[in-house]
Amino acid sequence: MLLDRVNRSFGDRPAVADLTFGAPAGAITAMLGPNGAGKTTALRLITGALDPDGGTVRVFGLDPGRPADGEAVRARCGVVTAKPSLYDRLSGLDNLRYAAELYGLGRGADVDHRLRAAAAQFGIDEALSQAVGGYSTGMKTRLALARAVAHDPELLLLDEPTSGLDPESAAAVLDLVRAMTRSGRTVLLCTHLLAEADGLADEVVVLERGTAVATGAPAALAAGFWPHPQVRIQAERPTDLDRLATWPGVVGYRREQEQAVVDLDDAARVADLIMGLSRDGVRLVAVEPHRPTLEDLYFAIQASRRAVPPVPHLPADGPAPYTPPAPAPAAAVPADRPVEVGR
Amino acid sequence: MTAVTAGDGTGAAGVARRAGRRGDRTPLRWGRVLTVARTDLRQLAQARDFWLPMTFLGALFYAIVPAVLLTTIGRIGSVEVIARVSSALEMLPEAARTQIRGDSAAGQTGYALAVFLFAPMAVIVPLTISTAVGAATLVGERERGTGEFLAHSPAAAREIYLGKLIASLVPGYATVAVGFGVYSLIVNVTVGPEVGGWFFPTAQWWIMILWVLPPFLAICLSLVLRLSARVSSTAAAQQASGLVSLPLIGIAYSQATGVLMGAGWLPLWLGAGAWAVALVSLARGMRAVTRSRLLGVGPGL
Q: Tell me whether residues A57 and B2 touch, CB distance under 8 A.
A: yes
CA A86 from centre of chain: 25
- B148–A81: do the CB atoms touch at under 8 Å? yes
Angle between helices B119-144 and B157-190 (to 10 degrees): 150
Rounded Cα distance between A256 and A251, Å, is: 17
**Which of the two residues, A339 and B60, has the higher pLDDT score?**
B60
- Specify the pLDDT at position A330: 36
Pairwise CA distance, residues A145 & A81, whole Å: 9
Q: For residue B279, which of B212, B227, B210, B215 has the smallest C-alpha distance?
A: B215
Confidence of residue B196 (pLDDT cuts 50, 70, 90): confident
pLDDT recorded at residue B299: 66
The sheet with strand A230-235 has its strands ordered as A250-256, A259-264, A230-235, A284-290
Residues of chain A positioned with their CB less than 8 A from the CB of B43: 87, 89-90
Q: Looking at beta carbons, which residues of chain A come within 8 Å of B295?
A: 44, 49-50
Residues in chain B within 8 Å Cβ distance of A67: 21, 24-26, 156
CB distance B6–A10 less than 8 Å?
no
Q: What is the pLDDT of residues A257-316, one digit of tens each?
A: 889 999 999 988 999 999 999 999 999 999 998 888 888 888 888 888 777 544 433 333
pLDDT digits (tens, 9 = 90+) for A312-327: 333 334 334 343 344 4
What DSSP designation does B104 have? Answer: S
> What domains appear along chain A, each with residue ranges and CATH number?
2-76+154-222 (3.40.50.300), 229-290 (3.30.70.980)
Check pLDDT > 90 for residue B25: no
Give percent above pLDDT 90 in chain B.
32
Closest CA to A21 of A4, A33, A42: A4
Nearest to B291 among A50, A79, A84 (CB): A50
Give the total residue count for chain A.
343
Contact call for B43 and A57, based on CB within 8 A: no
- The residues on B that touch A, with CB distances below 8 Å, are 1-11, 13-14, 17-18, 21, 24-26, 31-32, 35-36, 39, 42-43, 46-47, 144-149, 151-156, 291-292, 294-295, 297
Distance from CA of A28 to the nearest CA of B (A): 20
Query: What is the DSSP annotation of A303-320?
Result: HHHHHSPPP----TTS--
Touching B: A residues 308-337, CB under 8 Å: none
Per-chain mean pLDDT for chain B: 81
Helices (H), B77-191: 80-89, 94-97, 105-112, 119-144, 146-152, 157-190
pLDDT at site B244: 78
For A51-61, give one letter per residue: b (16+ CB within 10 A) or e.
bbbbbbbbbee
| pLDDT recorded at residue A15 | 94
Per-residue CA distances from A150 to A114, A161, A187, B38 (Å): 7, 16, 15, 20
**pLDDT score, position B3:** 35
Rounded to whole angstroms, how far apart are CA atoms B146 and A108?
Answer: 24
Is the separation of the CB atoms in B70 and B112 below 8 Å? Answer: no
Q: How far, rounded to the nearest angstrom, does the alpha carbon of residue B225 sit from its chain's CA centroid?
A: 12
Query: In this structure, what DSSP letter does residue A17 have?
Result: E
pLDDT digits (tens, 9 = 90+) for B130-172: 999 999 999 999 999 999 999 999 999 999 999 999 999 999 9
Pairing of strands A284-290, A250-256: unpaired
Distance CA B290, CA B285 (A): 11
Mean pLDDT for the stretch of residues B1-28: 47
pTM summary value: 0.81
φ, ψ for residue A72, nearest 5 deg: -65, -40
| Residue in A with minimal Cα distance to B144 | A85
Phi and psi, residue A260, nearest 5° = -105, 135
At A138 the pLDDT is 87
pLDDT for residue A140: 93
Segment B215-246, tens digit of pLDDT: 988 998 999 999 999 888 888 888 888 887 77
- Summarised one tens digit per residue, pLDDT across range B240-268 is 888 877 777 777 677 667 666 666 677 78
Angle of helix B30-46 versus helix A92-102 axis, rounded to 10: 160
Interface test with A, best of B5, B10, B22, B39 (most A CBs within 10 A): B39
Helix, strand and coil percent figures for chain A, each rounded to 5: 35, 25, 40
Residue B113 has pLDDT above 90, yes or no: no
Q: What is the mean pLDDT of chain A?
A: 86
Nearest CA in chain A to B23: A67
Size of interface A-B (CB pairs under 8 A): 136
Low-confidence ranges of chain A (pLDDT < 70): 308-343
Amino acid A223: pLDDT: 84
pLDDT value, residue B208 = 81
Integer Rg of chain A from CA: 24
Task: Write out chain A residues lying below 8 Å of B292, CB-based.
Answer: 49-51
Cα(A154)–Cα(A47) distance, rounded to whole angstroms? 13
